[in-house]
């Protein structure tokens, strides 16, 4: 006897209830995951914003300093501007590495438990 319903897939997971989501959100494990993320992301964000504002302030109020030649036609302003791009890419790389090493395993463990895979 044939049925129209496809066979259950091994990738299907049960959907957690609202109460289960709330319980996980209040758990110590989820709190540690959140602390780990925040203790990395917030200081890094503040440092980058401070670095960016320093560049803007120097550009606005220290024109003579920013116009100082470093070599050839490259001055301090161009060097610091290019450093902004470099630090952006370094922060993105560092954040991805931090997430892969420290956050993703914790998040995957929580997810597996929530979906009934553990």
Query: Does a structural domain hold residue 5?
Result: no
Domain total for the chain?
A: 1
Instruction: Please report the pLDDT score of residue 64 as a whole number.
Output: 93
Query: Does a structural domain hold residue 11?
Result: no
4-8, 38-42, 78-82, 98-102, range with the lowest pLDDT: 4-8
Instruction: Please report the pLDDT score of residue 11 as a whole number.
Output: 60
Short-list 33, 13, 35, 11, CA closest to 24 = 33
Query: Does a structural domain hold residue 8?
Result: no
Per residue in 14-37, pLDDT (tens digit) is: 777 888 888 888 889 999 999 999
Model-level pTM? 0.73
Query: Does a structural domain hold residue 74?
Result: yes
Full domain range(s) for residue 33: 28-114
- Tokens encoding 64: 């003579």
- Check residues 61 and 8 and name the one with the higher pLDDT: 61
Q: What angle do CA 43, 44, 45 make, to 5 degrees?
A: 90
Query: Does a structural domain hold residue 72?
Result: yes
CB-CB contact of 76 with 68 (8 Å): yes
């Amino acid at each position: 006897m044939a049925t129209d319903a496809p066979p259950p897939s091994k990738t299907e997971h049960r959907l957690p209830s609202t109460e289960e989501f709330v319980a996980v959100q209040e758990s110590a494990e989820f709190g540690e995951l959140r602390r780990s993320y925040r203790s990395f992301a917030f200081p890094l964000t503040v440092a980058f914003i401070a670095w960016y504002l320093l560049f803007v302030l120097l550009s606005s109020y220290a024109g003579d300093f920013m116009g100082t030649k470093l070599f050839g036609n490259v001055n301090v302003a161009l060097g610091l501007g290019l450093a902004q791009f470099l630090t952006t890419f370094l922060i993105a790389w560092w954040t991805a590495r931090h997430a892969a090493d420290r956050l993703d395993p914790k998040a995957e463990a929580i997810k597996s438990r929530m979906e009934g895979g553990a």
